[in-house]
Amino acid sequence: MPKPKIIIAKLGLDGHDRGAKVVARALAEAGFEVVYTGIRQTPSQVVETAIQEDAKLIGISILSGSHMELVGELMRIMKERGLNIPVLVGGIIPPEDRDALLKMGVAGVYGPGTPLREIIEIVKKLVGAQQ
């Protein structure tokens, strides 16, 4: 049985990717196949990668403050393209933006310090619910 594929991406001009790499490694060690797209991705690039890779979940790491615009665009493009998989957002997200992201359709929002085991369990539940 193939490992579920997860996309980890950095949207926009955010060049800080240490957290994304830590999460990607933890998910890989937990048994997922992880595709890390690297920094400075556009929402359309992330959607295309997810479609090409037949991903089961997208994880977005964003620290630049442009999360509302970029994640909103990602969700819009996903809907247009018929891509219906969970999206998790991590990074520096002000508490007042969490609810707005969830209303956009994001499956969860996680800040710095979220334990890796918690992220792994959430991903397992979300991916398992699809299969």
Q: Could you report the per-residue pLDDT of 27-50, keeping only the tens digit for each? A: 999 999 999 999 999 999 999 999
Q: Are 13 and 56 in contact (CB under 8 A)?
A: no
Say how many C-beta atoms besides its own lie within 10 A of residue 69's C-beta. 12
Beta-strand runs (E) in 63-107: 87-91
Q: pTM to 2 decimals?
A: 0.94
DSSP 32: -
pLDDT at 131: 53
pLDDT at 130: 61
Which domains does the chain carry?
5-130 (3.40.50.280)
